[in-house]
Amino acid sequence: MDIKLGKHYRFNVKEIRPDSYVVARHDAVFELPKSAASEALEVGDIIEGFVYVNQAKKLVVTTKRPFIDAVRPGLVEVVEEKPGLGVFVNIGLDKDMLVSKDDLPFIKKHWPQKGDQLFCYLKGGRNQIIARLVGRYKMAELFKPETPLEAGETITAYVGLIGEEGLVLFTKEGHEVFVYFKHAREEHRLGEVVSVAITHVKDQRHANGRLTAQKETMLDSDAERILEALKNAGGKMALSDKSSPEAIFSALHMSKAAFKRALGHLYKQGLVRLETGETVLIQKD
């Protein structure tokens, strides 16, 4: 049989049963449950089907397209953790796929939790199929970002690797952002969704970053940084909410979004005055 699990093939509809279709490719015959068909079929139809093992541990075909397959990786959500086995991810079919504990970090607290996101592909054996993590170097082969990130911007990324010196994050587009542990504010886990401020862009794919804390936690420290910069500049600085992200990051090492939040906080407190192209410290008697 030339059929491999986790891949798509063309099948010929041979028979219609009350709850399923019988489909064949050469000498390989499978059942396609009607609940797994995207439309009603007739005998003689040629369909493209995905071969997998269903909840009843039976090899079946579906015309529904999973989120990932053996040649098409992607970002999938963790839906359940099974101690001793690993975690299950939703691939868009009636059966969630296992990411084996052998593919997960050795330290249990670094395991992904429900709701986390993992870059995976499917790997089929003779009678089973599992989800595998896309490795760091495989990510570079499979994902080609069209544009580089920009220093000063804050983006959403996903923890893809916990290394010896820091975290390797990936974006949906395939950018790789490295964050040293000293620039991370707490321990993190594989698949965690994080907010990262880009500090240095190396090339179209690679960048360095700093993880940002929750907005409420960061507000006071960001506001203090702005006040300190104003005092050092004699009470006036050539930055405003209209300034570019690059200019803000160069002067204060914070994203434009963080700068605007902190600036608004200072303005509401009556500590600064906003003028065209600059911010002025209000001196209190």
> In the chain, where are the structural domains located?
8-62, 74-134, 143-211, 220-281
Cα 92 to the chain's mean position, in Å?
Answer: 17
CATH of 8-62, one of 1.20.140.10, 3.30.9.10, 2.40.50.330, 3.40.640.10: 2.40.50.330
Residue-level pLDDT at 216? 45
Give 161-199 pLDDT, tens digit per residue: 998 889 999 999 999 999 998 888 677 999 999 989 999
Q: What is the mean pLDDT of the chain?
A: 88
Residue 207 near residue 198 (C-beta atoms within 8 A): yes
Rounded to an integer, what distance in angstroms lies between the CA atom of residue 274 and that of residue 285? 20
- Nearest Cα to Cα of residue 176 among 212, 140, 151, 146: 140
- The answer, as to whether pTM is greater than 0.75, is no
Give 109-159 pLDDT, tens digit per residue: 999 999 999 999 999 876 788 999 999 989 988 898 989 999 888 889 999
Written as six digits, the tokens of 198 are: 């880009």
234 Cβ contact list (under 8 Å, min separation 6): none
Give 226-258 pLDDT, tens digit per residue: 988 899 989 999 998 888 888 888 888 778 887
Which CATH architecture best describes the domain 220-281? Orthogonal Bundle (1.10)
According to CATH, the topology of domain 74-134 is OB fold (Dihydrolipoamide Acetyltransferase, E2P) (2.40.50)
Q: For 256, phi and psi rounded to 5 degrees?
A: -65, -40
Residue 263 near residue 275 (C-beta atoms within 8 A): no
What is each CA distance from 38 to 19, 55, 63, 64, 85, in whole angstroms?
14, 19, 6, 6, 32
In terms of Cβ atoms closer than 10 Å to its own Cβ (0-12, 13-18, 19+), residue 276 is: exposed
According to CATH, the topology of domain 143-211 is OB fold (Dihydrolipoamide Acetyltransferase, E2P) (2.40.50)
